[in-house]
Chains A and B, each alone.
Chain A
Amino acid sequence: MSDNNYKNTASGEQQKQQDMSRRKFLKNSGLVAGGLVGGSLFGGLLTNSFDSKKEQKMEKHKDTLIDVQEAMQFFTRHQDFLVLMAATEQIYPEDEHGPGAIKLGVPYYIDKQLAGRWGINGRDYRHGPFTAVLDESDQSAGPAGEQSILDRGDIFIQGLRKLDEESQKRFGTTFDKAEEEQQIQILQDFDDDKVKMNGLAASEFFALLIQSTLEGAYSDPLYGGNRNMEGWKMKEFPGAQTSYAGYIDQDEFIKLEPVSLRDYQGH
């Protein structure tokens, strides 16, 4: 499948189906029938959902959005980005179920995240003293590199270049050009801490890489990954649905077209 396919499915027909399924859904859910108080909150939502003018405006938007929003915000070297693409694709590969990390937009998602406050650990406690090597009984402690002085941006740049360096050392080629088995072998060695990094354990970088890849595959498309909600479709997750009140006590498995936050918030 080429990237174009994803763009095409995002347009008119798809949108119409979603709108229909949502209307049907609201009807099934029994929400419209009432039995509610404090109308302002609910009223606002319903109004948003059924405001057809707003929905038309939204469709027009969608066709032009994807490509121009994809360029590097955080990374500066193209090679770093190529390694990121190759590594995330190994973690979440394209297969018979659907797209892998690259086609889902995961590398751009990670680039955008690193360019924001998450990349500089903006909400984290950042006063010293910092500790690169933890006591053994504390090692289960935390998210990747929690006690390190490095921020997430530092960790990614160092980690990706280390992947390249290992590949050069072992196979005489950059990570992105190495064979699949070779890439997997290197990543496994990061996972097993057989590679040495500076200021944190290789497995901590790797845990961060896995976590960010999954976030990029499954977060709302507004963040730049999960392109066209393909990640959700593979997982049969229907996104930001208004209500499941009409379904939740039923025995059969319910398949619904996913709804993005853009659709749900409707502005």
Chain B
Amino acid sequence: MVKKLPKVDAVIVGSGWAGGIAAAELTKAGHKVVILERGRDKKHEDFMGTKDELRYSKRYDLMQDLNKETITSRNSLDKKALPVRDNSKARLGNHTGGAGVHWNGMSFRWLPYDFEIYSKTVERYGKEKIPKESTMQDWGITYDELEPYYDKYEKTAGISGEENPIGPPRSDKYPNPPLKETPTIRLFKKATTDLGYHPYHMPSANLSQAYVNPDGEKLNGCVYCAFCEEYGCDFGAKADPIGTVLATARKTGNLELRNGANVTRVGHDGKRATGLVYTDTMTGEEFEQPADIVVLAGFVFTNTKLLLVSKIGTPYNPKTGQGIIGKNFTGHFNNLSTYIGARGFFENKKFNNFMGTGALGATIDDFSGDNEDHSNLKFLHGYEVHYGQLGTRPIANNQVPEGTPAWGKEFKKQSLKYANRNLFITAQSGFLPNKETYMDLDPTYKDSLGNPLLRVTVKYAEQDRERAKAGVARCAEIMKEMGADTMNVDVVEDDVEFDHKFYTDHFFGGAIMGESPENSAVNTYSQMWEMENLFVVGGSSFPHNSNYNPTGTIGAFAYRAAEGMNKYLKDGGLLTQSELKENA
């Protein structure tokens, strides 16, 4: 028996950046909002004294409890998918603030090329350059149209950055100066400059100084304590939803954030969403929370699963290419798109590797997106090469030169010697969508409530491997220039396949945006074409993955979606259509 609750203006799944931004903007406009968050209540107080590598980096204390729900994974259509059973393969966000609590804070803008990737590729290289397996498409929006929302997000989060010498135009500078420059960053910047590239500090949500954002929320300056990724900030110095947008929404008196509410489906009558059905994780009781608008702002997997289970939209079929829900799954994959590169070992230099913060470091954009000419390359899109000084921690930091045993006397000796004598640079590359990389419901495995798990199928294409190889070679070139005595350079094998690791938390697609219902689930306001009071916000709306970390772009699109929601609550209708009318 589902108990029906009193109706509100908007009900939102998830309290991460996407849900938090929507909640802040809706409540500021006077709307009553309920956020349903299945994880526990978290405050900054929970993160004090948090510097515990075992608990947070090895036992994944802040991540989704896979005992209750996970995903299944396979790397080709003809295989049976297996469940991802262990958090070391899936660091998915959970609890109040979601993954926005334990992120590193890298906050990039994506490129004009990304949003018009199909047109710009055809324009520069011709149609034949696009591989036949590719399902890449324009997003239905340009960088210039999105720019004001980037600016808004960056001001909310207090992004600390240095101007990118070859970056896209900005309407304003970063709200805070870049983080400090360290000896190793100087080394990277000098080497890349000498090679003719254009290094700059990575834009960071770890703040370089104390800051008050436009909503009046206060953030501290980062102290470089090196417990950032996988940790909540001990110091209130990393922008997260708890200290910014959720606090802003709470101040209005219009927000109720309901923890322990595990949403299982979207209630609807085929034309309109009526609310969200959830299970109280304390009692097992089922409730329906009715609302005028329904917002799915969970992670990619949550949003896609809810649409499929609720039978909204047409599921994508990889055999026919028909359907849209679940289509264009992309991401940053461990053995292909990030965490691979060159590790240098230095005999006569010692670095303070144990100091750092999440987004501290520098990168080059010379090979990002379509910044280099791909005419003679066997791939489209590109990679950024960065050195990051996150701060190494001792259980994980056991780097040894190739050929050293992985245990025993020699291992101990070398791992101690090189603990502070190694540096790593990585190439993070884009991943373009293809016909056989998608999500649907698993036929075998179920979650703890008896609903099917989401099944993810990932097939690497030739061009993805070529892009990764080019990125790794660039890392080796730069590491050599940085003066490493020896190097471990990762090898991208010709037959490398997806290794079932969903470790980066950078995953996209499933309810992608576009300019028409023909090729997309939502418009650029994240509004469902076929259910106009349902908004599906976050990485699930991205038709492909760029070579940058996604949060800045998720924040920008969430602000655009929130603007659309407020407009919809006032006027109704499909937002892009009324926009067209206004511009006509």
Partners in one complex: yes
Instruction: Point out residues on A near B: beta carbons under 8 Å.
Output: 29, 31, 35-38, 41-42, 44-45, 90-93, 95, 97, 118, 121-127, 129, 131, 134-135, 137-138, 140-143, 146-147, 184, 187, 191, 210, 213-215, 218-220, 222-223, 231-232, 234-245, 247-251, 253-254, 261, 264-265
B124 beta carbon closer than 8 Å to chain A: no
- The reply to whether A248 and B70 contact each other, CB–CB distance below 8 Å, is no
- The reply to whether A215 and B420 contact each other, CB–CB distance below 8 Å, is no
8 Å CB contact of A147 from B60, B85, B356, B499: B85
Complex: chain A residue closest to B223, CB-CB: A243
Q: Report the Cα distance A124→B419, complex, angstroms.
A: 31
- The reply to whether B223 and A249 contact each other, CB–CB distance below 8 Å, is no
Complex: chain B residue closest to A226, CB-CB: B394
- The reply to whether B225 and A241 contact each other, CB–CB distance below 8 Å, is yes
Residues of B within 8 A of A220 (CB): 52-54
Residues of A within 8 A of B350 (CB): 253
Residues of A within 8 A of B69 (CB): 125
* In the complex, chain B residues 57-109 whose Cβ is within 8 Å of any chain A Cβ: 58-60, 65-67, 69-70, 75, 79, 82-89
Q: Report the Cα distance A192→B406, complex, angstroms.
A: 12
| 9-residue interface stretch from B13-21, B175-183, B293-301 | B175-183
Residues of B within 8 A of A31 (CB): 223
New A-B contacts (15) at CB < 8 Å, excluding given A237-B394, A244-B352 = A36-B221, A38-B243, A91-B408, A92-B407, A93-B409, A123-B87, A134-B82, A142-B88, A146-B86, A146-B89, A235-B416, A237-B354, A243-B224, A251-B183, A264-B49
- The reply to whether B223 and A245 contact each other, CB–CB distance below 8 Å, is yes
- The reply to whether A142 and B89 contact each other, CB–CB distance below 8 Å, is yes
Q: Report the Cα distance A191→B225, complex, angstroms.
A: 36
- The reply to whether A147 and B226 contact each other, CB–CB distance below 8 Å, is no
A contacts with B: majority SS: loop
Complex: chain A residue closest to B355, CB-CB: A244
- The reply to whether A244 and B225 contact each other, CB–CB distance below 8 Å, is yes
- The reply to whether A210 and B406 contact each other, CB–CB distance below 8 Å, is yes
Contact with A along B222-266 (1 / 0, CB 8 A): 111111000000111000000100000000000000000000000
Complex: chain A residue closest to B58, CB-CB: A215
Residues of B within 8 A of A215 (CB): 54, 58, 395
Residues of B within 8 A of A121 (CB): 85-86
Residues of A within 8 A of B243 (CB): 38
Q: What are 15 A-B contacts with C-beta separation under 8 Å?
A: A36-B210, A37-B212, A37-B218, A37-B219, A91-B407, A118-B59, A123-B60, A123-B87, A125-B445, A142-B500, A210-B406, A215-B54, A235-B416, A243-B225, A248-B356
B contacts with A: majority SS: loop
Instruction: Point out residues on B near A: beta carbons under 8 Å.
Output: 44-45, 48-49, 51-54, 58-60, 65-67, 69-70, 75, 79, 82-89, 180-183, 209-212, 218-227, 234-236, 243, 335, 350-352, 354-356, 393-395, 397-398, 406-409, 412-413, 415-416, 419-420, 444-446, 497, 499-501
Q: Report the Cα distance A41→B84, complex, angstroms.
A: 37
Q: Quote the shortest CB–CB distance from B225 to chain A (angstroms).
A: 6
Q: Report the Cα distance A44→B350, complex, angstroms.
A: 34
8 Å CB contact of A90 from B226, B408, B415, B501: B408
- The reply to whether B221 and A93 contact each other, CB–CB distance below 8 Å, is no
Residues of B within 8 A of A265 (CB): 48-49
Q: Report the Cα distance A41→B445, complex, angstroms.
A: 43
- The reply to whether B223 and A218 contact each other, CB–CB distance below 8 Å, is no
8 Å CB contact of B395 from A118, A143, A214: A214
Q: Quote the shortest CB–CB distance from A42 to chain B (angstroms).
A: 6
A126-B85, A223-B54 are contacts. A210–B407 as well, Cβ < 8 Å?
yes
Q: Quote the shortest CB–CB distance from A231 to chain B (angstroms).
A: 7
8 Å CB contact of A236 from B45, B182, B420, B499: B420
A235-B419, A240-B51 are contacts. A248–B352 as well, Cβ < 8 Å?
yes
Q: Quote the shortest CB–CB distance from A121 to chain B (angstroms).
A: 8
Residues of A within 8 A of B224 (CB): 243-245, 248
- The reply to whether B67 and A124 contact each other, CB–CB distance below 8 Å, is yes
Residues of A within 8 A of B398 (CB): 214
Complex: chain A residue closest to B392, CB-CB: A237
8 Å CB contact of A36 from B85, B87, B220, B497: B220
8 Å CB contact of A126 from B67, B183, B419: B67
- The reply to whether A44 and B48 contact each other, CB–CB distance below 8 Å, is yes
Residues of A within 8 A of B407 (CB): 90-92, 187, 191, 210, 213
Residues of A within 8 A of B352 (CB): 244, 247-248, 250, 253-254
Residues of B within 8 A of A238 (CB): 354
Q: Quote the shortest CB–CB distance from B289 to chain A (angstroms).
A: 28
Residues of B within 8 A of A237 (CB): 354, 393-394, 397, 419
Q: Report the Cα distance A234→B398, complex, angstroms.
A: 12
Query: What 7 A-B pairs have minimum CB-CB distances, sorted nearest first?
Result: A243-B223, A219-B54, A240-B51, A244-B355, A218-B394, A265-B49, A253-B350
Q: Report the Cα distance A264→B49, complex, angstroms.
A: 7
Q: Report the Cα distance A180→B222, complex, angstroms.
A: 48
Q: Report the Cα distance A253→B181, complex, angstroms.
A: 16
- The reply to whether A35 and B394 contact each other, CB–CB distance below 8 Å, is no
Residues of A within 8 A of B209 (CB): 35
8 Å CB contact of A129 from B85, B218, B394, B444: B444
8 Å CB contact of A141 from B211, B354, B397, B500: B500
Q: Report the Cα distance A35→B222, complex, angstroms.
A: 11
Q: Report the Cα distance A247→B389, complex, angstroms.
A: 14
Residues of B within 8 A of A235 (CB): 394, 397, 415-416, 419
Q: Report the Cα distance A44→B183, complex, angstroms.
A: 32
Q: Report the Cα distance A247→B59, complex, angstroms.
A: 30
Complex: chain A residue closest to B448, CB-CB: A127
Q: Quote the shortest CB–CB distance from A125 to chain B (angstroms).
A: 4
Residues of A within 8 A of B54 (CB): 215, 219-220, 223
Q: Report the Cα distance A29→B412, complex, angstroms.
A: 32
- The reply to whether B445 and A127 contact each other, CB–CB distance below 8 Å, is yes
Q: Quote the shortest CB–CB distance from A36 to chain B (angstroms).
A: 5
- The reply to whether B416 and A142 contact each other, CB–CB distance below 8 Å, is no
Q: Report the Cα distance A124→B211, complex, angstroms.
A: 40
- The reply to whether B82 and A147 contact each other, CB–CB distance below 8 Å, is yes
Q: Report the Cα distance A184→B69, complex, angstroms.
A: 40
Q: Report the Cα distance A126→B447, complex, angstroms.
A: 10
A92-B407, A242-B225 are contacts. A41–B236 as well, Cβ < 8 Å?
yes
Residues of B within 8 A of A92 (CB): 407, 412
Q: Report the Cα distance A16→B376, complex, angstroms.
A: 65
8 Å CB contact of B499 from A140, A243, A250: A140
Q: Report the Cα distance A37→B158, complex, angstroms.
A: 14
Residues of B within 8 A of A122 (CB): 67
Q: Report the Cα distance A126→B83, complex, angstroms.
A: 9
- The reply to whether A125 and B82 contact each other, CB–CB distance below 8 Å, is no
Q: Report the Cα distance A54→B572, complex, angstroms.
A: 60
Q: Report the Cα distance A220→B408, complex, angstroms.
A: 22
- The reply to whether B182 and A249 contact each other, CB–CB distance below 8 Å, is yes
8 Å CB contact of B220 from A38, A124, A219, A250: A38
Residues of B within 8 A of A95 (CB): 409, 412-413
Q: Report the Cα distance A127→B445, complex, angstroms.
A: 8
- The reply to whether A135 and B395 contact each other, CB–CB distance below 8 Å, is no
- The reply to whether B420 and A253 contact each other, CB–CB distance below 8 Å, is yes
Q: Report the Cα distance A79→B345, complex, angstroms.
A: 41
8 Å CB contact of B67 from A93, A123, A251: A123
Q: Quote the shortest CB–CB distance from B418 to chain A (angstroms).
A: 10
Complex: chain A residue closest to B453, CB-CB: A125
